[in-house]
Structure 1
């Protein structure tokens, strides 16, 4: 039964093309036929040749080119999503360079990438945004005002504690339709001393570098925050958006931030609650 499923999957993979494929997340997660430790070694369990690196690169190519295939109806989905965000504060921010969220998540391709489960588009989860803002608030703003430190009065109010939820609601940051096409970009990282990192032997100048292809993303994303309806909610929501803006510009979000990934800059200033988009 397992081999029959693999045969069907292989047949489907061979028929895939960017023209007919629209869900990049499904392609990355489900269409790797099989993979052995070395590309040229046969899979002795079933006598077939593994997909290996070449099959992986084919899947990355298809996912990279097909992400724009959903654009005609994603525009409608995006507008519906935006209309449901009111009342809130929004801010559009654009990736400076590349962004890779979920690089270490489980994936059949060794490297992961967070894509929307339903639509297969790049997005930044609300949990990642809240975690970044919370950490930046405590480490940076907390240096000047102890109320912003973790456990401080303002930090508890904004982000909550284990016993009580915070007053600010973070939404997923969706990519804007005009930047969706071409938002997935091929990238590569190279492990220069694989045997050393596996604990087999010391690093030398004679080691074989091991290039690992993966996908990162670029584009413009819509950030949105809201809060409980109080007389001071607008002030706190705007303050948190400013905090998140600085964190994204200075620290970045996702993986490989030490290498310059994940930085974002504001391209459309924040719109306050109730304003028309």
Structure 2
């Protein structure tokens, strides 16, 4: 095998037919690696794969990937509209938002990125879990509930709850799509600084002021204060259940409340807003992250 060295590239010569193909492939890879900061539009790859120089930048933009996402998302929504009633809510991030902080990542802390579009998002399963948890706490947990098994039994026998979230004998009537940010939402670097790592760690020592602090950087989403909303929440309800009133469910803790004259659609809209306004979603909600406001 003959090797020819040039100033910028190495050309492998086998024969006249293959020479051009091998040279072009090598040159293309070389240029992409050299200019990877500018050539990679998928943020998931940029943050988690090319981390040497792009470990935690001050800010990332989202507009490149969102332009590719919108047509696909609209097509999914239009498909579901044929069989379900569509509900759209738009919310604004009150402070900052972090989804997936405790996940595994090459940058120590994690942020949930879509595997195809490469942008941060709120999974539909997370939204459904937040709503489910909020309804359980609001309507089912009381002084009469003595243990977890008793609570699970009561919930499993509640037809209204099972019509919303599903149970052992039926499928739920509520579907959440993944929620994506608007274009002017930014990914920024935030920092938390544990001052007593030995005390909070496995060494089981008393907290002391001479411990070495350990600043930890992590990525968060921050909305645009000038924009009307930052996230769009898309969900669908079964057409057979959407207009049912809560008063139709006689043996339910939910229907025995002030919501009994509301339809299922009105009930879900109200409680999802309350869940995101009062409980928040994602990590660090105890210090104000993850809360939304709705008009």
- Structure 1 length as normaliser, TM-score? 0.72
Q: 2:180 aligns with which of 168, 174, 177?
A: 174
Output the CA distance in 2 between the equivalents of 1:23 and 1:243: 34
Task: Identify the range of structure 1 (235-244 vs 67-76) with the bigger mean alpha-carbon deviation.
Answer: 67-76
Pair 1:84–1:187, CA change in 2 (3 A): farther
The offset of 1:264, in angstroms, is 0.7
Contact 1:88 1:224 in 2 (8 A): yes
Contact 2:175 2:235 in 1 (8 A): yes
Output the CA distance in 1 between the equivalents of 2:177 and 2:70: 18
Contact 2:163 2:170 in 1 (8 A): no
Hey, what does 1:59 align to over in structure 2?
Answer: 55
Contact 2:97 2:290 in 1 (8 A): yes
The offset of 1:110, in angstroms, is 1.1
Hey, what does 1:218 align to over in structure 2?
Answer: 222
Output the CA distance in 1 between the equivalents of 2:55 and 2:197: 24
Pair 1:65–1:14, CA change in 2 (3 A): farther
Output the CA distance in 2 between the equivalents of 1:118 and 1:217: 19
Output the CA distance in 2 between the equivalents of 1:168 and 1:182: 28
Contact 2:61 2:187 in 1 (8 A): no
Output the CA distance in 2 between the equivalents of 1:130 and 1:72: 26
Hey, what does 1:37 align to over in structure 2?
Answer: none
Pair 1:13–1:210, CA change in 2 (3 A): farther
1:64-103 CA-to-partner distances (Å, cap 9, x unmatched) read 3243333443444444444445241111111111111111
The offset of 1:202, in angstroms, is 2.9
Q: 2:46 aligns with which of 21, 27, 38?
A: 27
Pair 1:22–1:164, CA change in 2 (3 A): same
Contact 1:227 1:233 in 2 (8 A): no
Contact 1:71 1:181 in 2 (8 A): no
1:157-205 CA-to-partner distances (Å, cap 9, x unmatched) read 21122443212112211223xxx24421211111212223332343210
Where do 5+ consecutive residues of structure 1 fail to align?
1-8, 34-54, 268-277
Pair 1:156–1:70, CA change in 2 (3 A): closer
Pair 1:131–1:238, CA change in 2 (3 A): same
1:70 and 2:65 are equivalent in the alignment: yes
Contact 1:124 1:174 in 2 (8 A): yes
Task: Identify the range of structure 1 (182-191 vs 82-91) with the bigger mean alpha-carbon deviation.
Answer: 82-91
1:150 and 2:155 are equivalent in the alignment: yes
SS of 1:174's partner is: coil
The offset of 1:233, in angstroms, is 4.2
The offset of 1:232, in angstroms, is 4.2
Hey, what does 1:205 align to over in structure 2?
Answer: 209
- Structure 2 length as normaliser, TM-score? 0.68
The offset of 1:29, in angstroms, is 1.9
SS of 2:294's partner is: strand
Contact 2:60 2:186 in 1 (8 A): no
Output the CA distance in 2 between the equivalents of 1:224 and 1:73: 18
Output the CA distance in 2 between the equivalents of 1:12 and 1:32: 15
Hey, what does 2:35 align to over in structure 1?
Answer: 15
Where do 5+ consecutive residues of structure 2 fail to align?
1-28, 146-150, 224-229, 245-262
The offset of 1:224, in angstroms, is 1.7
